[in-house]
Amino acid sequence: MLKISVKSLLLVSALSVAGLAAPALAATSTVNVSLADAGAAAPLGTDLGISMKGDHATAVMHVIPDKTEVPAGEVTFKVTNNSSDIVHEMLVVKVADANQPLPYVDGESRVDEDAAGHLGEVSELDPGDSGSLTLSLDSGTYMLFCNIPGHYQAGMWTLVTVN
């Protein structure tokens, strides 16, 4: 016969109420992101944004995640600017159609962040600097991109799928 003391029952009860006896914590996914380029002297493409006519494979600027699929929930993006001489940043937006371009402001050579519905960013990082961003993401397709003028159009974007 199992004997349980009143003190043990009270402790188990208190831990259960506090949510400590059996925590249901969802794991946070981590995506390491490298912001990279061919250097300040490299010629920038001007038509490599999503659904533009250029060949993204020829881009001289890149957003390179170590994972392109993660489970829904909390996702932490650990971002490093691996450029030797160019400032970069990383923004996250959810895209309904991966074939449609983001709203672009031609006169500023950048994406209209508010119209695109940006969810957060790791602001301008000097070469060699790092930063992080944690978001709670639902299932869908998300774009990671640099919005320094000219960088998105030069091909500095990638897609991540959240399942």
Q: Alpha-carbon distance 127 to 89, whole Å?
A: 10
Cα 76 → chain centroid: 7
With 80 as the cut, is the pLDDT of residue 14 above it?
Answer: no
Give the CA diameter of the chain: 80
pLDDT of the residue at 33: 98
| Per-residue pLDDT reduced to its tens digit, 96-108 | 998 888 999 989 9
The DSSP bridge partners found for residue 75 are: 29, 135
Q: Alpha-carbon distance 120 to 135, whole Å?
A: 8
pLDDT of the residue at 3: 55
Domains along the chain? 26-162 (2.60.40.420)
| Per-residue pLDDT reduced to its tens digit, 57-89 | 778 899 999 999 999 999 999 999 999 999 999
With 70 as the cut, is the pLDDT of residue 30 above it?
Answer: yes
